[in-house]
């Protein structure tokens, strides 16, 4: 048998745990200007990819209001990432809405496109 003290202690711990679970701090939503500034400052660690990003992707993916999801904006990329890499590659290679075919990256290989998408999405894309 559990003592009244042990039962009360258990109940207090359970209630405190439930209360604290609802108090998780949420990061404030970044403004479009903050997201654009972040996208401008971002660059892939790989020198070749950084050059490709700077000369092809950044013109749209670092400009708020361009219609393109900003590099590093996980929320904007999440629904796109949900399409999977094959779905995204169809959009990249064939063009999609305002994005020109190939993203105007004439020297990008399929592996480059995939690496650049993963970099800009800032999340796994399968």
DSSP-derived secondary structure for 33-96 = HHHHHHHHH---SSHHHHHHIIIIIHHHHTSTTSSSPPTT-HHHHHHHHTTHHHHHHHHHHH-B
* Residue with the two structure tokens 């999801």: 69
Q: What is the pLDDT of residue 121?
A: 96
Q: In this predicted structure, what is the pLDDT of residue 54?
A: 96
Report whether pLDDT(96) > 50: yes
How much is the pTM? Answer: 0.75
R_g of the chain computed on alpha carbons: 22
| Per-residue confidence (pLDDT) for residue 10, from 0 to 100 | 56
- Lowest-confidence region among 26-30, 40-44, 47-51, 54-58: 26-30
pLDDT for 120 equals 96
Contact in structure between 70 and 64 (CB atoms under 8 Å): yes
CB-CB contact of 79 with 50 (8 Å): no
Residue-level pLDDT at 3: 66
Kindly list the domain boundaries of the chain, sorted by start residue: 32-121
Q: For the domain covering 32-121, report its CATH number.
A: 1.10.760.10
pLDDT of residue 103: 93
DSSP state, residue 1: -
9-23: pLDDT as tens digits: 454 444 444 444 444
For residue 82, pLDDT beyond 90: yes
In the predicted structure, residue 105 carries a pLDDT above the cut 90:
yes
pLDDT band for position 88 (cuts 50, 70, 90): very high
């Amino acid at each position: 048998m559990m003592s009244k003290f042990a039962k009360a202690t258990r109940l207090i711990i359970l209630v405190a745990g439930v209360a604290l679970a609802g108090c998780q701090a949420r990061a404030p939503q970044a403004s479009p200007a903050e997201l654009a500034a972040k996208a401008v400052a971002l660059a892939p660690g790989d020198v070749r990819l950084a050059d490709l990003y700077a000369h092809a992707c950044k013109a749209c993916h670092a400009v708020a209001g361009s219609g393109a999801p900003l590099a590093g904006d996980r929320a904007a990329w999440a629904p796109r990432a949900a399409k999977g890499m094959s779905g995204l590659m169809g959009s990249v290679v064939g063009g999609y809405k305002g994005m020109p075919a190939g993203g105007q990256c004439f020297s990008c290989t399929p592996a480059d496109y995939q690496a650049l998408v993963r970099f800009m999405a800032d999340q796994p894309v399968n």
